[in-house]
Copies of this chain bind each other. A is one copy, B any other.
Amino acid sequence: MDAVNLKKLASQLNLSVSTVSKAFRNSYDINPATRDRILALAKKLNYQPNPLASSLRTQKSRTIAVIIPDVANNFFALAINGIESIARAAGYHVLIYLTHEDLTQEIAFTRHLQSGRVDGIIMSLSSGDSGYEHLEELKHKGIPMVFFDRVYENADTARVTTNDHESGYIATKHLVERGCKKPVHITMAKNISIAIKRKQGYMDAMKDLLPGMSTTIIECGTDHEKNKEMIRQMLTGEQPDGIFSAFEKLAIQCYQCCEETGLRIPDDVKLISFSNLETASLLNPSLTTITQPAFAIGKKAAEILFHTMENKNAVIPNEHIILKSVLEERRSTGKTA
């Protein structure tokens, strides 16, 4: 019924399989007339070359893998969009793997992907603790990789991030300029690259702008209830006048806890948070956001990956691209970089 393949085309045209194959490879080694006959029949029968066979033969899958913690986060959704648009243009296919922040999964994926299923990998690390052997393994195998956002910093690999340290600094500065004297930083997954940078930005800004003031950092985990408990304690203890949240999810929990505690944002507490909901006007007007250019990050990561894949002989570049996040305050109208 189905199975229209080279052999079938060949037999119907009284040609050899290899000649038919050449017609598609657009080889100069073929008579234009016969090529047209072949293409005509192929079109008529709706011939679709079997990519598995082709990949097996050429050892190129024309497929990349994207390994990310989660796609329910708008940041990653946009990043995928960027990646896909570049991949599409290059004629590549995109496999998607979600780790759900589980290092075990991440390891399983990277292991499996040594099988030749993909020509390259774009990934953002799960927040699971330590252990980078699986990444080294891949690197050793010579599979091109590009990291984005939550990057692997220990090795010389290509990576794309935002100016997280600077953004942390700016966010803190924003709070201080709005009159905050004891802004708190709330973060999670303390071992991932972006969390570290953002926190450092907060601490550096505090040192510069409020010298002598002690810093307060709430380190949340993956358990939402425990997180909220920590936030509650913070709010009921020495009440902060500003909160800089490193992750959108934590901002949500801050809202919830403030509501319980009766605190109003931004009248009692000013809240600024990383967030990638670009739907600005749907957002709560009391929230000031720092938005990463997620789409651009995805595109850039893909561009770098394809660049290294095309120039196979070239060294995989230890490139570190840094794009800028955008701070946006809703109450006023202005936008700041």
Residues of chain A touching chain B, judged by Cβ–Cβ distance below 8 Å, are: 1-2, 46, 48-53, 55-56, 61, 63, 70-74, 76-78, 80-81, 84-85, 88, 93-98, 111-112, 114-117, 137, 141-142, 248, 251-252, 255-256, 259, 275, 277, 279-285, 287, 295
Contacts and interface: CB of A to CB of B under 8 A. Distances in A.
A336 B53 CA distance: 53
B78 A72 contact: yes
Contacts of A275: 282
11 contacts: A2-B141, A50-B115, A71-B71, A72-B81, A73-B77, A77-B77, A93-B95, A248-B279, A255-B282, A259-B281, A282-B283
Closest 4 CB pairs of A and B: A255-B281, A48-B115, A77-B77, A52-B56
Q: Which of A95, A114, A116 has the most CB of B within 10 A?
A: A116
A207 to B, nearest CB: 30
Contacts of A63: 95
Contacts of A81: 70-72, 98
Given A142-B1, A277-B279, A287-B282, A84 B96 contact: yes
A116 B51 contact: yes
A111 B46 CA distance: 8
A115 B84 contact: no
Contacts of A115: 48-51
Contacts of A85: 98
A110 to B, nearest CB: 11
Contact of A98 (B46, B56, B84, B287): B84
Given A48-B111, A252-B282, 15 more contacts: A46-B137, A52-B117, A71-B77, A71-B80, A80-B96, A81-B98, A84-B96, A84-B97, A94-B96, A248-B282, A251-B282, A252-B280, A255-B282, A259-B281, A277-B279
